[in-house]
Amino acid sequence: MGAILSIRGLRKSYGAFEALRGVSLDFCPGEFAVVVGPSGAGKSTLIRCINRMIDPSYGEIEFNGVRMDALRGSGLRRRRSMIGMIFQHYNLIGRTNVIKNVLHGRLGHMPFIKSLFGLYPASDRLRAMELLEEIGLSGQRYKRADALSGGQMQRVGICRALMQEPRLLLADEPIASLDPKSAEIVMDHLKRMTEQRGICCIVNLHQVDFARRYASRVIGVKSGLVVFDGRPDDFTEDIARFIYENGGDRDIAEETQIGPEPGGYPAGEHPGGPSKEAPTVYAEEYAAV
């Protein structure tokens, strides 16, 4: 299956500081990829570059056959409406009810004037109800969003993102503010609902246990580089320790040698999920930069 998202040589600098130092990844429809790494590794920067909340410094990002990095204005807005976002702090409108928050996912698909007055077609309202039913919140649909628990708010966030009928869903630390039980419920829904729809989902998490449990593919990021890309079973304790030790310290990796030869998926030959062979561990490449 062809990639829905291709990233080539992505670099992002904030002033003199390089937060991403050359990231190349391909993602296919239906993948549930979890990006792990310590605070400051560049996970959020990667997500923000993909949906162009920030501009990459170098590199190419092709989404659904179109170069995202070259888009501006309405072209960019149209592309972005095909990418769903889920945020750590939900980004709901607290004083607005649940169903209206879900309907907000349609705004990018509506003429401006209709969106101004919230004139959603009946088909959208029906779809919002169905999504809330599916995620177990239909009984809360007329409640104000700020009356919900954190886990419920994030489930509303998932419904709002799915209202966009996205081809790609990006979630930046979606469970970082939740207790373990609520986190599990949110991850269960997110995984099931995106898988059923064949949507590619990229989730930033710092919890390694959740990554192993839910991911179809784990991507380990350290100091702005991909240092692991493989199946959750191959994401061993040693690799996790390597990624998390010393946080974002860049010197430590030079003494660390893990896993097989560095490699990667040749351009255009991504197998549709992580390799069935050995995982790709980029320790040497990492150390060389």
Ligand X SMILES: Nc1ncnc2c1ncn2[C@@H]1O[C@H](COP(=O)(O)OP(=O)(O)O)[C@@H](O)[C@H]1O
What ranges make up the beta strands (E) of the chain?
Answer: 5-14, 17-27, 32-36, 58-63, 66-67, 83-86, 168-172, 200-205, 217-222, 225-230, 280-281
Q: Could you tell me the smallest distance in angstroms from the CB atom of residue 244 to ligand X? A: 12
Radius of gyration of the chain from its Cα atoms, rounded to whole angstroms: 19
Q: Are 219 and 274 in contact (CB under 8 A)?
A: no
Q: Which stretch binds ligand X (CB under 6 A): 12-20, 69-77, 138-146, 151-159?
A: 12-20
- Rounded Cα distance, 158 and 177, in Å: 15
How many binding residues for Mg ion (CB under 5 A)? 2
Q: Are 146 and 97 in contact (CB under 8 A)?
A: no
Closer to ligand X by CB, 38 or 273: give it: 38
Does residue 270 touch ligand X according to CB under 6 A? no
Closer to ligand X by CB, 42 or 259: give it: 42
Is the Cα torsion angle 125, 130, 133, 137 positive or negative in sign? negative
Q: Could you tell me the smallest distance in angstroms from the CB atom of residue 222 to ligand X? A: 9
Helix axes 150-163, 180-197, angle to 10 degrees: 10
Q: Which stretch binds ligand X (CB under 6 A): 37-45, 115-123, 160-168, 188-196?
A: 37-45
Pick one of 1, 2, 9, 39: the residue that binds ligand X (CB under 6 A).
Answer: 39
Does residue 44 touch ligand X according to CB under 6 A? yes
How many binding residues for ligand X (CB under 6 A)? 11
Q: Could you tell me the smallest distance in angstroms from the CB atom of residue 46 to ligand X? A: 7
Pick one of 3, 10, 19, 219: the residue that binds ligand X (CB under 6 A).
Answer: 19
Helix (H, G, I), strand (E, B) or coil at 11: strand
What tokens appear for 28 in the block?
């296919």
Interface mask (CB under 6 A) for ligand X, residues 146-185, using x and -?
A: ----------------------------------------
Closer to ligand X by CB, 42 or 174: give it: 42
Report the residue number whose CB is nearest to Mg ion. 44
Count other C-beta atoms under 10 Å from residue 173's C-beta: 18
Does residue 45 touch ligand X according to CB under 6 A? yes
Pick one of 5, 25, 44, 214: the residue that binds Mg ion (CB under 5 A).
Answer: 44
Select from Mg ion, ligand X, none the partner in contact with residue 91, using the beta carbon and a kind-dependent cut-off of 5 to 8 Å: none
Q: Are 55 and 36 in contact (CB under 8 A)?
A: no
Closer to ligand X by CB, 45 or 152: give it: 45
Query: What strands lie across the sheet with 83-86, from one edge to the other?
Result: 83-86, 168-172, 200-205, 32-36, 217-222, 225-230, 280-281
Helix (H, G, I), strand (E, B) or coil at 7: strand
Does residue 40 touch ligand X according to CB under 6 A? yes
Which positions lie near ligand X, rule CB under 6 A?
Answer: 14, 17, 19, 37, 39-45
Which positions lie near Mg ion, rule CB under 5 A?
Answer: 43-44
